[in-house]
Amino acid sequence: MEEGIFALRCGKCGWMTATYAVACASCGTGGLERVRLKGDGRVLSFTILNVPTEEFAQDAPYAYAVIDMNEGCSTSGWMPSVRSAGDIEVGDSVRFSGRRGRASIFVKS
């Protein structure tokens, strides 16, 4: 799998999403283009997972966060370096640091 974090962008109005879409949610245009994000964003919300999925069982506890990317779309990711609610705040700057399977990994920046 290609390393990096990507979004889909509408060539007509500039709307972007970091999740799956077949058409622009703003103007309905199809044929969204895939663009690479720089990887920087801010924490929009988070939760600390003490009982993770099997794939991440050895890493618990860790934070799972919704990230507002600087390009204007949001995504979600796993933050293995954040182990308690005291280690993270809404608004913290984070950056994409890689992938494990389909999960995006973020670290505080």
Q: Which residues bind Zn ion (CB under 5 A)?
A: 10, 12-13, 15, 24, 26-27, 29
Question: Residue 72, class by beta-carbon neighbours within 10 Å (0-12 exposed, 13-18 middle, 19+ buried)?
Answer: middle
Q: Which one-letter amino acid corresponds to residue 13?
A: C
Identify which of residues 13 and 85 has a Cβ nearer to Zn ion in the complex.
13
CB of 34 to Zn ion, least distance (A): 15
**Kind of pairing, strands 103-108 and 93-100?**
antiparallel
Helix (H) or strand (E) holding 64: strand 62-69
CB of 102 to Zn ion, least distance (A): 26
CB of 22 to Zn ion, least distance (A): 12
CB of 70 to Zn ion, least distance (A): 20
CA distance 93 to 70: 10
Specify the residue for token string 């506890």: 61
Identify which of residues 32 and 63 has a Cβ nearer to Zn ion in the complex.
32
